Amino acid sequence: MTDASARAVRVDAWLWAIRVYKTRSAATTACRAGHVRVNGERAKAAQPVRPGDELRVRVNGFDRILVVKQPISKRVGAAPAAEAVDDRTPPRDPTPVMAQRDRGAGRPTKRERREIDRLRGRDAE
């Protein structure tokens, strides 16, 4: 193995190794769908990442900002995985929880409909 290849690893393998995705194929699919950016550019699955590279990964509808500290290609435990990445994702704003009705409770009453509309930001008419 050459010195340059020892310090670079595929982006899909790295995302799988640090436990962003459960499977490597899920990481590959995310790269193909354009959900992974390396230093601002869309990344293909085989693109190498090196220490210092910034990755923006879209997971569950929001972006995570990750900086590569250590390139690893094999899946490791949670503690070594946390050491290999610098997570710079800003904290998410707490979103108001929508009113949940019990399953099978039937149609909402007029009062419940007004409360639901108020939570969704619609004016009661």
pTM of the predicted structure, to 2 decimals: 0.70
**pLDDT one-digit tens code per residue, 24-69:** 999 999 999 999 999 999 999 999 999 999 999 998 888 899 999 9
The predicted-structure confidence for 2-21, as pLDDT tens digits, reads as follows 545 458 899 999 999 999 99
φ/ψ (deg, to 5) at 43: -110, 140
Same domain, 68 and 33: yes
Please report, for the domain that includes residue 44, its CATH number.
3.10.290.10
**Per-residue pLDDT band at 118 (split at 50, 70, 90):** confident
Side chain identity, residue 55: L
Q: Which residue has the higher pLDDT, 113 or 122?
A: 113
Nearest 10 degrees: CA dihedral of 95, 101, 104, 109?
A: -130
C-beta separation of 50 from 68 below 8 A = yes
Task: Say if residue 21 is in the same domain as residue 50.
Answer: yes
* 64 lies in the same domain as 108: no
Same domain, 59 and 79: yes
72 and 120 housed in the same domain: no
Confidence of residue 119 (pLDDT cuts 50, 70, 90): confident
Count of domains observed in the chain = 2
Do 45 and 101 belong to one domain?
no
* Predicted pLDDT of residue 31: 93
Query: Do 82 and 111 belong to one domain?
Result: no
Domain span including residue 83: 3-87
In this structure, the answer to whether residues 74 and 100 fall within a common structural domain is no
CA–CA separation, 10 and 89 (whole Å): 22
